[in-house]
Amino acid sequence: MRKGTSRKLKMEMRETKFCDLGRRGYREVWELQERTLEKLKEEKLNQKPGNHYLFFVEHDPVYTLGKSGNEANMLIGAIQLRAAHAEFIRVDRGGDITFHGPGQLVVYPIIDLEQFGLGVKDYVDRLEEIVIRTIADYGIQGHRLAGATGVWLEPQSSRARKICAIGVKCSRYVTMHGFALNVNTDLNYFNYIHPCGFVDKGVTSIEKELGHPVDFQEVKEKVLRYFSELLEMNITMESAI
């Protein structure tokens, strides 16, 4: 098979529908992810060509706790949660507790890793690299931290702070959940938790590092471009889901 033909077939197998969901509640999008994952798994089992999906969303304020997380890392109770206009939800991803809210770009890839030639570890590494390259465009140097999935700034110092949390779930190598990049996020919400279970590390955002808000749409476009480059996705726009 010619090289050009092989690449064309690969890109066809990696056709990914992109949908910007705007601002939505967490449970609604969680259900959307589960439906999409089950559809892709069924197509895979029946050896039918299925579409991969990439969802971008801003959530209403919500704290989510991963399946192996410790509820003690949630530092406020139900009454204080209501006062903060936030929810608390246990979820089926990896990782501990984190916050999602306005000004944060949450990205949910629903893809078959086997079609991309990736294992779970390599996939998480690509997600981290997408964020590292995105924030580098704003002059921010992101790093990995051994034993702590996500993207960090100055990870080996006393000022270590996380700018992006990552938590994924895979079923038959089909993924759901993803990452949350703090862009113009209200970081005060993180004062009510031990983010990702850490008591000795902080949280930051692009806005905080630069000292001013950034164009949220521009950040989305950068993230989308790096998904296309690093996962060799053939991305098509989907107007609504």
Helical packing angle, 216-230 and 120-136, nearest 10°: 140
- Known active-site residue 196: yes
- Overall number of domains in the chain: 1
Q: CB neighbours of 213 closer than 8 A, spacing ≥ 6?
A: 184, 207
Given this model, what pLDDT does residue 12 score? 57
On whether residue 212 sits in a domain, the answer given is: yes
Query: What is the Cα–Cα distance from 234 to 40, expressed in whole angstroms?
Result: 17
Length reported for the chain: 241
Domain that holds residue 221: 3-233
On whether residue 163 sits in a domain, the answer given is: yes
On whether residue 88 sits in a domain, the answer given is: yes
Q: How confident is the model at residue 237 (pLDDT cuts 50, 70, 90)?
A: confident
Catalytic residue among 19, 164, 170, 196: 196
| The model's pTM | 0.90
Given this model, what pLDDT does residue 223 score? 98
On whether residue 229 sits in a domain, the answer given is: yes
Residue 200 has pLDDT above 90, yes or no: no
- In the chain, what are the helix, strand and coil shares in percent, each to the nearest 5? 35, 30, 30
Task: Note the pLDDT tens digit of each residue in 41-56.
Answer: 998 888 776 789 999 9
On whether residue 144 sits in a domain, the answer given is: yes
Residue of 210, 223, 205 lying closest to 99 (CA atoms): 205
- Residue 46 belongs to domain with CATH number: 3.30.930.10
Residue 7 has pLDDT above 60, yes or no: no
On whether residue 95 sits in a domain, the answer given is: yes
- Please state, rounded to an integer, the average pLDDT across all residues of the chain: 88
Task: Note the pLDDT tens digit of each residue in 108-128.
Answer: 999 999 999 999 999 999 999
Ranges of H-type helices in 91-215: 113-116, 120-136, 206-210
In which element (H, E) is residue 195 found?
none
On whether residue 241 sits in a domain, the answer given is: no
Query: What is the Cα–Cα distance from 60 to 191, expressed in whole angstroms?
Result: 17
On whether residue 240 sits in a domain, the answer given is: no
